[in-house]
Each structure stands twice: as structure tokens, then as C-alpha cells.
Structure 1
Amino acid sequence: MNIDTDNFRHIRSFVRREGRLTLAQQRALNELWPRFGIASGPEPIDLDSVFGRQAMRVLEIGFGNGESLAAMAAAAPYTDFIGIEVHRPGVGHLLLQIEQHELSNVRVLCEDAVEVLETRINDASLDRVQIFFPDPWHKARHHKRRLIQPAFVSLLARKLRSGGHLHLATDWEHYAQHMLDTLRASTAFSNTSPCGDYCPRPEYRPLTKFERRGQRLGHGVWDLIFERR
């Protein structure tokens, strides 16, 4: 499965808008990163060695402050979670959550997800990839910057095992339709929705503070769950 790298490598999984680290977040980066962080490097990551076991593997791209990822890890101790986030305050916050909940099944990367997937995650090594509320780039002239594009979907398909799942969620209806059209066009995935479009929020995905606030304001949220053929 070939990827048009000339048109793909400029797409990044983030826009850097990093705020200040709190003292607690800086302490977490200093003290907890050596245990739970995965250092940057060119070589593929040996996930069995990193976690010290074989287990179901879930990768989350752009976990924000990490509270929902920590909650999922706490609820599924026999599943290993890998979180990718470039904003260090969010990484520090997740490390604090890992410490607070005494989690041993979470590891963190502070790198661009596209580069990590291209070079550091082995093919067919993941059971689920989840991307919740990515930047919608709502202005039409910025739509080309959206993460969910055909080339990226092809890359994700390579990293998922057969029968694995790609779970996306957004509160922008236009982006939800774009995601749906993009995934429907992929021959690597089939839609798990019984209606052929969106899925109810599964129990494993916690409601975020951002999402609860949106619900109070009457905003919709669209979940898409596609299975790797």
C-alpha cells in the first residue's frame, strides 16, 4: 500500500500552542517520564519490551490533558495504552494521572504522531487507534490540514491488526461527514455502524469536560468506529 509522501509529510498531527508548565507538571516530567515516557529515536518500538508483557494495544493520538486516556487505562488494566501528544503540559498532566491512579499500562510519546507511525510502530501491531476531537480546521482554506485524509487512513490501516478498530470522534458535523466519506472510500476498513454512518459513544470512551460542556450547549458529537478488514 503506497502513500503519496510528497503530499503527506507536511501534514502534522498537531498545531503547537503550548502553555506554561505548572510546577506539578514539570515535576512529573522530571520524575515520571523516565518510567512512563518513550524516548524519541529512529528505531521501531518493541512494545512487548516496553510493557513487559503481551496484551491488547491501543494507541491514542492527541490525548489532550490525558484524563480520558487515564480513565480508560484504569478501567482496562489488561490492555496496554500508548498515548501520543506534543504539548508538554498535557504530557505532564497525564503523567500525574498515571501516578495518582497507580497505572502501569500506559506509555507516552511526545512527538508528532505521523512521524511515529511511519517509523516507530510496527505494521499490524495495534488493536485500536483512537483520535478524539482532532483540530477540525473549520475554515475551508485549511481543510487540507486536517489529519484525517486518505493517505493517513492508509497509514493507520497498515498499523492495525486485521479485525482492529479505528475510532474517531468529533463535535464538528462537517468534519464528521468528511471523516465518514474518507473512511467509506477506504478499501481497508468496514463501518461497524448498523446504520452505515455513525455509532453511539461506546462505554469505554469517557465523556470529557469539553464534551460535557458542549452537550449543555446543545452541541452534537459524532463517533465513527471502523474495522480493519
Structure 2
Amino acid sequence: MPERQTDEIRREVHTFVIRAGHFTNAEKKDYEELLPVWGIPYDKEKFSEKKLDFEEIFGNKNPVVIEIGFGMGKATAIIAENNPNINYIGIEVHKPGIGKLLGEIRERGLKNLRIIAHDAMEVLSDMIADESVSAFHIFFADPWPKKRHHKRRLVQRPRTDLLTKKLLKGGYIYFVTDWLPYAEFAMDELKLTEGLKNRFDGFAPHQEWRPETRFEQKGVDANRVISEMMFEKI
């Protein structure tokens, strides 16, 4: 990807806004005490030449999956617990969710999960080596339904080009949304992303290993369609 295009991803439009939310005392305590333990600080200068060393971070050569925007982290913790031979990095800016997931790491004794509390596009551009990630998970990202906000959507080019650049061959992007217009939009953008191929004929079947979250249940209760897609780097 041209350097200018990458800079445009970083500078011009964020895919998120930091919204005010209830930050419980327990979440705040875990955020302050545990982020230095299981967090990876964002540092553009430190990783300007040599990117994150996953083997050094996790102490093994297991594949690495990055989840962008894990919310309150319930699904993240369950998936990591059920797959101890895979390493996970969750990227999030919502402090209550970060605190909640840090508590889950402690309670479940997870050794294969780390957190980066920063903008995902900057993390990927500055800290993650090309062709080093086995998968990206993006579950229920903000659909930005208003047309003037579509530019904020995470799953669209050139952001998907950046994700693809970081994937190993055979790695995949797994995207789930309960907003059908976003699903259709994302499907088109992923199809147009060079180097990706749909693993399925259209939308993917539900992946049984992905646990349902309370947020997802709200979508089901509101009669919204849950759409899943999985594109592989070829």
C-alpha cells in the first residue's frame, strides 16, 4: 500500500468515537493495575524499524489472532480460553471494556491474551509486521448508519488493504454485524480488496466457536439479521 494512502487511513478519519460509559470501580481498578501487566503500550518510535515480536511477548511460536474493537471482551475471553494454542491480541479504546477484559484474563488465568489500548489503524501501521497475523476478528463494529459517517466504517478499503497486508497467506478476516446495510457494504469492499477470497459462497454460516454476546442477543431480539463473512488471503 502506498505510504500516502496509509497516512490517510491514520490521519483523516477515526473508525470510533470515545463515548462516555459507566466505568465501575472494579473495571477502573483492573484497568489501572492490570493494563501494565497484560497490556502492550502503543509506541510508534520504538517499533519504527523492528515490529512487535510475538514470540517474545507470548513465549511461543503459536499463531496470533488480532481482534479489533472487542467491546466488553466476553467473546474474546471465551475464545482465548477455548483455544490455548492460539495467541490473541485485543485492540480497544473503550476503558470500561478494557478493564472488564483484564479482569477476565486474571479470573480465567489466560496466558494467551494481551491488550493494546489504542487506535487499531495506528497500531497496525506502526507496530505490526507485514504477513505476521493469522486472523483478524471484527465483531459488531459500529455500523455508522448515516451516509455522511460511512467513511468511518472499519471494514472498507483502504483499511481492508492494510489488514490484508498484515495477514499471513491463508490467514483470514472474520467480520460479523447485525446491521444488514453494513454487511452488504462490507461484502462488496472485501470482494474488491486485492489478495482476498471469500471462503464461502456469499455470507458465511455461523461459526460455532464464536460465542454469542449480550450485544448480539439484543440484535436478535430486535429482529436484526446477523451476517457473517470470512475472507482468506490467497
- Tell me which interval the TM-score lies in, with the shorter structure as reference length: over 0.9
Q: Say whether residues 1:219 and 2:220 are aligned partners.
A: no
Q: 2:233 is matched with which residue?
A: 228
State the Cα deviation string for residues 155-213 of structure 1 (Å, max 9, x = none).
Answer: 001100000000011111111011000011122100001x2x10012122111111112
State yes or no: 1:2 paired with 2:9: no
Asked if 1:181 is matched to 2:182, the reply is no
Letter in 2 for 1:8: I
User: Which runs of 4 or more aligned residues in structure 1 lie more than 4 Å from their structure 2 counterparts after TM superposition?
Assistant: none
Which residue matches 2:28?
26
Percent identical residues? 40
Amino acid across the alignment from 1:226: F
Secondary structure of the equivalent of 2:228? strand
- The equivalences for 1:131-210 within 5 A come to 131-193=138-200, 195=201, 197-210=202-215
1:124 Cα deviation from its structure 2 partner: 0.7
CA RMSD, 1 decimal: 1.3
Q: Does residue 81 of the first structure (1) align with residue 80 of the second (2)?
A: no
Question: Any gaps of 5 or more consecutive residues in structure 1?
Answer: none
Can you list the C-alpha shifts for 1:94-148, whole angstroms capped at 9, x where unaligned? 0011111111110000000000000101111110001111111101121122122
Unaligned 5+ runs, structure 2: none
SS in 1 for 2:158: helix
Distance in 1, matches of 2:220 and 2:144, equals 21
Cα distance in structure 2, aligned partners of 1:160 and 1:191: 15
Q: Matches of 2:102 and 2:7 in 1, distance apart?
A: 35
> Which segment is superposed worse, 219-228 or 136-145?
136-145
99-108 or 215-224: which moved more?
Answer: 215-224
Aligned CA distance change for structure 1 residues 6 and 112 (closer, same or farther; 3 Å): closer
TM-score, normalised by the number of residues in structure 1: 0.95
CA drift of 1:6 comes to 5.7
Alpha-carbon contact 2:6-2:125 (below 8 Å) kept? no
Query: Which amino acid is the alignment partner of residue 169 of structure 2?
Result: S
TM-score, structure 2 normalization: 0.93
Matched ranges for 1:43-58 at <5 A: 43=47, 44-58=51-65
Distance (whole Å) between structure 1 residues aligned to residue 172 and residue 218 of structure 2: 27
